[in-house]
Amino acid sequence: MARVYNLNPGSGADRPPKIDFDAELNPQQLAAVKAPPGPALVIAGAGSGKTRTLTYRVAYLLENGIKPENILLLTFTNKAAREMIERVSALVPVDPRALWSGTFHSIGNRILRRHADRLGMTRQFSIMDREDQKELMVSVVKDSGLDVKALNFPKPQVLSDIFSMARNTGTNLRDYIADSYSYFDQLADEIVKMRDAYQDKKLSTNSMDFDDLLIKTLTLLREHDDLRELYQHQFEFVLVDEYQDTNLIQSDMIDLLAGKHGNLMVVGDDAQSIYSWRGADFRNILNFPRQYEGAQVYKIETNYRSVPEILTLANSAIRSNTEQFEKELAPHRSDQETLPALVMLSDTNTQAVFVAQRIQELQEEGVELEEIAVLYRAHYQSMEVQMELTRQGVDFNITSGLRFFEQAHVKDVATFMKFVANRMDEVAFKRMARMLPGIGDKSADKLWKQWLACEGSRKEVPDGFSKYMLDFAVPTKGKKDWTQLVYILDELIDVDGSLQPPSMMITSIVEGMYADYMKAQFSNYENRKMDIEQLENFSSDFEDVEEFLTQLSLLAGTDTDVTGKRKKEQETNVVCLSSIHQAKGLEWKVVFVIWLAEGMFPNGRVLEDDYDGSGLEEERRLFYVAVTRAMDELYLTYPLIWPNAHSGQVMQSPSRFLEEIPSEQVEEWQVGRGDW
């Protein structure tokens, strides 16, 4: 039997004073933070200090001699990972770069950058965002020779969404088409062929989409025993944030990485699982205690956000769900002696007038506009409120739905860099070429084929581009600009064949041609110029262009801008109008939840397809998320009449979620017309 020998974590003489965990945490948080090794599920209720618990758990592990590089912290946003590591660094002196922390996609990228050759790709692969994906799909569809118009074939973006959802849910593509896109059933054979061609195209262009960052990482871990053992050995402790939002691929990835030591702590709230429509699997968190034998379950139920009156209502709102870990949010704050308001309005316009008027009254009472939110189930339900707030001069900002906005000028500059870093990036090459006069899709495709045919497209060639590209057959109108473009590409490579630092690349691109392009292309040139300057400032922190491009790709569509900081709206003191999905994780002093009518919330289409009750339970969780965003005041409103263009005026009944709340937990408001 082998002898066990433990290394001391280090000399105590130079170590800082230990954290007083007992003083810093409440008893429930403390129990989770000091959990013994092994599998653990932490059910952290809304506003209960989930991030604080995770942060102190990492600090606790470090204090007890676990090395930073042996800890893996998986999150759903780069912002969350960054904030947690910053907090850990403030508690325990540690180099945050030593910790493996970040989103599933960023950790997958980190692993793939080391071992992509095992998958038949180079480590310089490009990461495609949604627009890149669409362009590559356009190329695939075009190469297929299908008469897409005659067939009424799905658009490239629809194809991408179909492929992505099937992959992330582990569903056979044909089955997924039959279940979710039955109107494409007769095209299933062609869609499957397109999927296969798309996969081949990504391989030949040394490119990956976001799904690949997870799926190919999982493939590496499953098919290569040495790599799986390497990372399993390294990650002694694995921690996962927002576990209720994981999909099948992410869950399998977690299981493999934690497979050796079994020290897996997942943190989340089953009552806030609301993303099944994008592949999240509620069963992952629900089945965790059954999947991991001996798993300890910790509940954190003290809420620091909301007044007791709101929490009492929230507890009632979720109680009817049968599939859940039972818990009772307990208030840390004192009674406010004001109940949440239940407000029936005569119609949708009156609902909007009420919301706008009450917001102005709250403002007069000292509540800042930025401390107020109007939440709704679907984006279209905000229309009347938008119009009324505009009419009454109340500033607002709309954040409904997921936003994957990328500014064209930032992507244009990055395109030059992506191509130089990966000479087989077809999407980058063609986007770059189409910026020139006289070069459209057909000309760009011909230029690409010329590039593939020449020696310069080989990755191992270290020299510049003018040696090969100046002789290409280019449309006469674009010949001069093509020559300029080629010389700019040369400038992006140092004399020794290495790539210039990102900031120097951006300077060459902008001064060489892109500043003139912006002047001719965009009316707000000065604003876009400042954006590029900000991009250049951000790039100065990077020496390696591949790392810089990776960060740009990973940040696309998240809640951060190119500086890595949280986006700020154009106006800071404005009311927030948001879908409930987009509001998860946020909080406001005052929240209006509107359109609480049956068929509107819960959503009628969800109820129609709800064969097992799971759809209704997710709708109820969505309502729970909405009400737990409120700190001080909560208004629940519904219109009695819905003007409908096809059906005339439709009478509506209050949402069943309102009927489930005891009458003594709300104050009914009767809204009248006052004196004219």
**Which SS3 state, helix, strand or coil, does residue 501 take?**
coil
Pairing of strands 630-644, 648-651: antiparallel
Residue 643 backbone dihedrals phi, psi, to 5 degrees: -65, 120
- Out of 28, 29, 50, 617, pick the active-site residue: 50
Q: In the structure encoding, which two tokens stand for residue 205, read together?
A: 């262009």
Q: In the structure encoding, which two tokens stand for residue 35, read together?
A: 């959990």
Q: Which residues pair with 576 in a beta bridge?
A: 373, 397
- Out of 51, 171, 558, 665, pick the active-site residue: 51
Rg (CA), the chain: 28
The DSSP H or E segment spanning 519 is helix 515-521
Distant-in-sequence, close-in-space partners of 406: CB < 8 Å, separation ≥ 6: 129, 131, 556, 557
Lookup result for tokens 């007038």? 353
Residue type, 268: G
Angle between helices 104-115 and 248-257 (to 10 degrees): 60
Distant-in-sequence, close-in-space partners of 195: CB < 8 Å, separation ≥ 6: 159, 163, 173
- Out of 167, 358, 423, 629, pick the active-site residue: 629
- Out of 133, 205, 272, 324, pick the active-site residue: 272
User: What DSSP letter does each residue of 409-462 carry, written as one string?
Assistant: HHHHHHHHHHHHH-TT-HHHHHHHHHTSTT--HHHHHHHHHHHHHSGGGSTT--
**Would you call 18 a catalytic residue per the annotation?**
no
**Would you call 272 a catalytic residue per the annotation?**
yes
- Out of 129, 211, 236, 242, pick the active-site residue: 242
In which region does residue 558 sit, left (phi positive, over 0), alpha (psi from -120 to 50) or beta (all else)? beta
**Would you call 232 a catalytic residue per the annotation?**
no
Separation CA 167–CA 173 (nearest Å):
8
The DSSP H or E segment spanning 293 is none
Q: Which residues of 136-155 are buried (b: 16+ CB within 10 A; e: fewer)?
A: bbbbbbeeeeeebeeeebbe
Q: In the structure encoding, which two tokens stand for residue 98, read together?
A: 């030593």
Long-range CB contacts for residues 218-226, cutoff 8 Å, separation at least 24:
218/249, 218/252, 218/253, 218/256, 219/119, 220/111, 220/112, 220/115, 220/118, 220/119, 221/253, 221/256, 221/257, 222/256, 224/115, 224/118
**Would you call 293 a catalytic residue per the annotation?**
no
Q: How many CB atoms are closer than 10 A to CB 253?
A: 23
Q: Which residues pair with 298 in a beta bridge?
A: 42
- Out of 135, 212, 241, 281, pick the active-site residue: 241
Q: Considering only CA atoms, which of 622, 548, 557, 546 is closest in space to residue 583?
A: 622
Cite the active site residues.
Answer: 50-51, 241-242, 272, 629
